[in-house]
Amino acid sequence: MQTIDEVASAVLQRATTRSGHILVVEGDKGIARTLAAVLRLRGYDATIALSSREAAQCLLESSAGAYDLALVALRKGEGAASLAHLRALRPHLRLIVLTPVATFDSALQALREGAYDYLVKPIDLEELCITVARALEHGQLERELARRVRELEVAQSELERLNARLQQRVEEATTELRDKVEALDTANAQLSGAQEEHDRFIKMVAHEMGNLLHPISLAADLIKRPGITQPALEQYSDTIEAQVQRLDRLVEDLLMGMHWSTGHFTLRRRSADVTDALSKLIEEFQATVRDRHFSLEQPEEPVIAEVDLDRVVQAVRNLIDNAVKYSAEGGAIEVGLWQDAERVYVRVRDYGAGIPEEKMNEIFKPGMRLDPRPGIEGMGLGLYITRGIVAAHGGELSVSNGAGPERALGAIFTLELPLRTPTLTPEPEDAAPQAAPTDREGL
């Protein structure tokens, strides 16, 4: 066994810088000083405590991490209690037990009380230094491991937060993509519907023009026949003229519908007498449509408004034409005209079958016809054009059915126009008609 001088000499020869604060708990003052001196030569800080009570006092007066290791020399009767007390004061303090007898029971008892290792007296100082170095290194590794574990826990927490955020963004992106797909499906369905409606409208236009051109062609062939009488000539000429007028009206409706749908609809506003214009329009219908009863209720004073009078007359004409088409022969068609401080109102009412509630918003679409039977002329552009004229004036066109227990009280269209030039823009094509005013429900 090496002497203290031999160990000290060896230590001085290979002294290295070490870290660690060691508490030496030894009742023998000489041994305690020797152990402390050896440890200091190894580069450690060493503090001496001559009893377990003094060791406890040192621990209490120091900060939590002040001591890294304690060398505890156990005396009879205080081993377990002493170790337990020190462990209670500093749970992370490493303990090396110095025991006078090396038995299995003593070693097991020391380990059970939380000791890192044990050394047998008399102590081999080289073994002491190796054990201390190993204990401190092991403690450093444990602290480093604990630090890395904490870092991993923080990183795991951050990863979970980022993963939750990424999951949320994925869900949001998925929802957005799903909404866009649904919007695209809706747009495709609308486009397909619009294409079908366009094809149907083109076929209807071609069919309507064919219906108009066929009588013209037939009448022209009949006029060329030799020996035709004057009455027959006049009849065929009247047929050609009537069909040409209808064809001209059809072309005009198509052009107006196209201008309105493309935003090229223009007005020529001027101050005009709406009363006089509607009176003349009703007289025209009374002269040409003999199987309906027309009436006009209007104020005694002229209604003067800043409008494109030709367009307004055309709009009202379309409403009356519509009333003629969808009312019974011999039925009444009532037109009312009135004004308030800001607007002029025109109401056209018939006593036909009225309009189904589910069709109220559809009748203003181009090509929409409630009754496609051969006897009902036109291509469903009248109400579409009328609404365009009204909207261009900054007004409103509304529709309702007559009040009563039966729907056969007819349809009521109400046209509202500003008395003076407004600053409004035309309403969108798909806007729903407004509810009709009720101050002239008796018309």
Helix residue ranges per DSSP H, 224-361: 230-261, 274-288, 309-325
Q: Which residue has the higher pLDDT, 214 or 221?
A: 221
My answer on whether 359 and 284 are in the same domain is yes
Point out which residues pair with 295 in neighbouring strands: 334
Q: How far apart are CA 419 and CA 393, in angstroms?
A: 10
Averaged pLDDT, 395-423: 80
State pLDDT tens for residues 339-372: 998 999 999 999 888 888 877 777 877 666 665 5
CATH number at residue 211: 1.10.287.130
pLDDT at 247: 76
Q: What angle do CA 350, 356, 360 make, to 5 degrees?
A: 85
CA nearest neighbour of 416 among 302, 350, 338, 322: 338
Does residue 401 share a domain with residue 274?
Answer: yes
Do 400 and 379 fall within a single domain?
yes
- Is 153 within a domain? no
Mean pLDDT of 240-267: 70
Does the residue 157 lie in any domain? no
State which of 123, 142, 167 marks the end of a domain.
Answer: 123
Closest CA to 22 of 57, 51, 58, 53: 58
Contact 24, 32 (CB under 8 A): yes
Rounded to 10 degrees, the C-alpha dihedral 95/98/99/100 comes to: 180
Q: What's phi and psi for 348, nearest 5 deg?
A: -120, 125
Please tell me the predicted confidence (pLDDT) of residue 295: 93
24 forms beta bridges with 48, 71
CATH number, domain of 45, equals: 3.40.50.2300
- Better pLDDT: 340 or 139: 340
**pLDDT above 70 (res 301):** yes
H or E element: which one contains 380?
none
Domain-located, residue 134: no
Same domain assignment for residues 274 and 402: yes
Q: Is 41 domain-assigned?
A: yes
pLDDT tens digits for range 69-96:
888 887 665 556 677 788 788 878 888 8
Same domain, 243 and 360: no
Does 148 map to a domain?
Answer: no
At residue 220 the predicted structure's pLDDT band, cuts being 50, 70 and 90, is confident
Pick from 90-94, 388-392, 436-440: least confident: 436-440
Q: Both 39 and 87 in a single domain?
A: yes
Q: Indicate whether 28 belongs to any domain.
A: yes
Residue bearing tokens 């708990």:
25
How far is the first Cα of the chain from the last one, in angstroms, to the nearest whole number? 131
Contact between 250 and 321 under an 8 Å Cβ cutoff? The reply is no
192 shares a domain with 301: no
Confidence band for 278, pLDDT divided at 50, 70 and 90: very high
136, burial (CB in 10 Å: exposed 0-12, middle 13-18, buried 19+): buried
Residues 392 and 294 in one domain: yes
Residues 217 and 335 grouped into a single domain: no
Q: Are residues 243 and 318 in the same domain?
A: no
Final residue in a domain of this structure, among 76, 98, 123: 123
Residue 424 within any structural domain of the chain: no
3-state class (DSSP) for residue 312: helix
H or E element, residue 90 = none
**3-state class of 371 per DSSP?**
coil
For residue 212, give its domain range. Answer: 187-261
Mean pLDDT of 293-318: 91
How far apart are alpha carbons 377 and 381 in whole angstroms?
11
- How many domains is the chain partitioned into structurally? 3
What percent of the chain stands above pLDDT 70? 75
Q: How far apart are CA 237 and CA 231, in angstroms?
A: 10
pTM for this model (two decimals): 0.47
Beta bridge partners of 293: 332
Indicate the SS3 state at residue 68.
coil
pLDDT at 13: 46
Could you tell me if 53 and 96 lie in one domain? yes
Domain match, 329 and 355 both:
yes
The verdict on residue 348 lying in a domain is yes
Contacts of 281 (CB under 8 A, 6+ apart): 313, 316, 317, 320
Q: Which residue has the higher pLDDT, 56 or 84?
A: 56
Residue with tokens 């055309």: 314
Question: What confidence score (pLDDT) does residue 1 get?
Answer: 47
- Over residues 149-198, the pLDDT tens digits come to 999 999 999 999 999 999 999 999 999 999 999 999 999 988 887 787 66
Residue 340 sits in a domain whose CATH number is: 3.30.565.10
CB within 8 Å of 351: residues ≥ 6 apart:
327, 328, 331, 332, 402, 408, 409, 410
- Among residues 208, 237, 261, the one where a domain terminates is 261
State the Rg of the chain over Cα: 54
- Residue 354's contacts (CB-CB under 8 Å, 6 or more residues apart) are 401, 402, 407, 408, 409, 410, 411
Mean pLDDT of all residues belonging to the chain? 79
